[in-house]
Every structure is written in structure tokens, then in C-alpha cells.
């Protein structure tokens, strides 16, 4: 055997051993967008094939029941989740997941489904993409908008996650004025979100719909606890009314340890949810907190090596 063949066999054996060692761990995948124009449909197709070949796909309902009732999950159990509810899921991702019979839970923002608002982080990306300005000053730091607008938008978005909610809303409006770009009342096509008709169709096709809050704020940055309750319980009630089915799972907006706290988790529990997921990376065990479940951040563009290693548990990011 040549060196390349030996290397491939060694690598394959390593991943197999890692899967065997972590067969009792629960993997929950976290996707957001499905830019098939950039990533190509074959990449997501390969990821679905890999999941089907090496893992046992289950629904988040089974995850919640396993924690609530002490039920065992199948070896190498894996659940797929998608946050935010952009229309590209319906157009590009659903066919692949359906073809391989992989259950999906879609966490949606109720005001976005209502058409009353679109994601504030998408608004930042839109402002940066549309402005004719070449730089902007944020918190006393100049941000270059010429070379890499996506990176610039991410930098601005990250800075706004660290301020109180009312200040974030004010700064978003100020940013629009500085960049001389209006924020449209409805999301442009690149940021289009699923509406109630879409979500009801998906629910009938077996897609679980979970709650991702009312307006997607950073919950820990909200000053009024009543507003937090509205973002959690109010959103749950609205989604249940829109879909006429119980909503059992919650995803913390942004989802890092800094974005929620015990008071927020208590509101999720008392709101009638069975489990909640974070965006913190890792695998889950039987002893894990069902209201702070870890997920593995995924992109359709991930290389086969990175994707395989993340699922096997030999890398974290």
C-alpha cells in the first residue's frame, strides 16, 4: 500500500474508534444558512450521506423525552437543528435532509414569521453591504468597509451583542444614518424568512418547529424581566397559535454562556419547554442539563475532514 492509502486507512480507523468511544454521547448539529450558490449542493448531500452512514439521526422530541423519562438513545445519536428560519432552508436544505430521512428541528423567531420584523444582525449586514461609505467608526474604532464587508458586518454585530438591548436598538438606527442606508420594513430577498404558510407546510412534512424568541435579542442584555418573559413565553404562544401544535424546544438567541443566565433558564422551564439548546460547542451526556444542551456549529461549506472530525468528537470547532 502506498503512503496515501495507509494514511486514509489510519484516519478512517481513528474516526471509527472515536465514534465507538463516544457512542453514548449525543451530538446536536447547529446550522444557520444554506448558501448553495457558494457551497454547492453536493457538499450538503455528502454531509447527509455521512450522517446516515455513521450515526443514528433522531428528532429533538426524542432528545427531550430521553432526559424527561430516562430513556436511552441509540448509539451515536445525532439531532439536526437549524436556527433563525431563513427561506434558504426550504429551498436548498430540506430536499437533502428529506432524501436521507434526517429529522430536523427549525428554531424560528415569531415576529419574523409574522412579517413584523427581520433579524437585526441581518439588518447590520444589509447596511454594510449597501452603503457607499468606505469606513465607519464604532466605539471609537474605525472599521474598514472596503476590503471585506462580511467581516466588517460581523465585527459590528459582535460589538452590538455586548451592549444593553435598548442601546443596541439605538446604535442600529444611528448606524443606518451614518451609512446613509434605510432599513427596509421587510427583509430583502437575501435575508428572506419563512412565514406561517411555509412553517405550517414544513410542520405537516414532519419538521419540528422550535422557539428562538420573539425578536432575537440577547436575552441577558434585556433590562426588564417582563420583556424577557414576552420574548420566551410570548413567542411560544404565538408560534403554537400559528402552527396549532405544541412547541417544546427553545434555542437561546446567539446562545453563548454570556447570553443567558439562571433567571432566563428558569423562565424557559416555567414556560413549558422540555429542553433548550445553546450555541456552545460540545457533545452531550446523560448527565447534561436538558436546558443547556451543547451543539456543534455547522456549515454546508465545511470540508469533509472537518465535518467528520467534529461529529466524531476529535475536534471541537
pLDDT in tens, 86-104: 999 998 999 999 999 999 9
- Fold topology of 22-117+193-312: TIM Barrel (3.20.20)
Residue from 240, 236, 217, 242 nearest 227 by CA: 217
Helical ranges in 109-245 per DSSP H: 110-114, 120-130, 149-160, 165-179, 196-204, 225-229, 235-243
Q: What are the phi and psi torsion angles at 316 (to 5°)? A: -105, -25
Quickly count: other Cβ atoms within 10 Å of residue 197's Cβ: 10
Mean pLDDT by 10 residues, the chain (317 residues): 54 84 97 76 90 98 96 97 96 94 98 96 96 84 85 93 94 94 95 97 97 98 96 98 97 98 97 97 97 97 93 91
Structural domain spans, the chain = 22-117+193-312, 120-179
Closest to 85 measured CA to CA, from 180, 172, 203, 182 = 203
pTM above 0.85, yes or no: yes
- Return the half-sphere exposure (C-beta side, CA atoms, 13 A cut-off) of residue 259: 19
Per-position DSSP letters for 21-75, written without gaps between them: HTTTSBEEEEE----HHHH-HHHHHHHHHHHHHHSEE--HHHHHHHHHH-PPPPT
For residue 18, the surrounding DSSP H or E stretch is helix 3-21
Measured over the CA atoms of residue 238, residue 242, residue 248 and residue 253, the dihedral's sign is negative
308 CA to centre of own chain: 19
Amino acid at each position: 500500500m502506498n503512503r496515501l492509502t495507509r494514511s486514509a486507512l489510519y484516519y478512517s480507523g481513528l474516526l471509527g474508534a472515536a465514534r465507538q468511544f463516544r457512542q453514548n454521547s449525543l451530538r446536536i448539529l447547529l446550522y444557520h444558512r444554506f448558501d448553495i450558490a457558494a457551497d454547492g449542493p453536493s457538499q450538503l448531500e455528502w454531509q447527509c450521506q455521512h450522517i446516515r452512514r455513521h450515526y443514528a439521526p433522531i428528532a429533538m422530541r426524542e432528545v427531550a423525552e430521553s432526559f424527561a423519562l430516562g430513556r436511552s438513545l441509540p448509539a451515536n445519536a445525532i439531532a439536526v437543528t437549524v436556527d433563525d428560519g431563513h427561506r434558504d432552508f426550504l429551498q436548498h436544505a430540506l430536499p437533502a435532509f428529506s432524501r436521507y430521512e434526517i429529522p430536523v428541528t427549525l428554531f424560528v423567531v415569531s415576529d419574523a414569521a409574522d412579517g413584523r420584523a427581520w433579524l437585526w444582525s441581518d439588518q447590520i449586514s444589509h447596511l454594510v453591504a449597501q452603503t457607499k461609505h468606505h469606513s465607519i467608526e464604532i466605539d471609537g474604532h474605525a472599521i474598514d468597509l472596503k476590503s471585506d464587508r462580511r467581516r466588517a458586518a460581523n465585527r459590528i454585530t459582535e460589538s452590538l451583542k455586548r451592549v444593553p438591548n435598548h442601546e443596541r436598538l439605538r446604535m442600529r438606527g444611528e448606524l443606518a444614518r451614518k451609512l446613509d442606508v434605510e432599513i427596509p420594513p421587510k427583509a430583502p430577498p437575501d435575508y428572506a424568512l419563512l412565514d406561517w404558510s411555509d412553517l405550517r407546510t414544513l410542520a405537516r412534512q414532519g419538521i419540528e418547529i422550535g422557539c428562538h424568541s420573539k425578536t432575537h435579542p440577547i436575552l441577558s442584555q434585556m433590562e426588564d424581566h417582563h420583556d424577557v418573559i414576552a420574548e420566551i413565553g410570548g413567542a411560544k404562544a404565538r408560534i403554537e397559535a400559528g402552527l396549532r401544535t405544541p412547541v417544546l424546544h427553545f434555542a437561546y438567541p446567539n446562545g453563548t454562556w454570556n447570553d443567558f443566565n439562571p433567571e432566563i433558564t428558569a423562565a424557559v422551564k416555567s414556560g413549558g419547554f422540555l429542553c433548550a439548546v445553546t450555541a456552545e460547542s460540545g457533545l452531550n451526556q446523560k448527565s447534561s442539563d436538558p436546558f443547556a444542551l451543547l451543539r456543534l456549529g455547522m456549515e454546508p461549506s465545511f470540508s469533509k475532514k472537518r465535518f467528520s472530525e467534529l461529529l466524531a468528537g476529535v475536534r471541537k470547532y
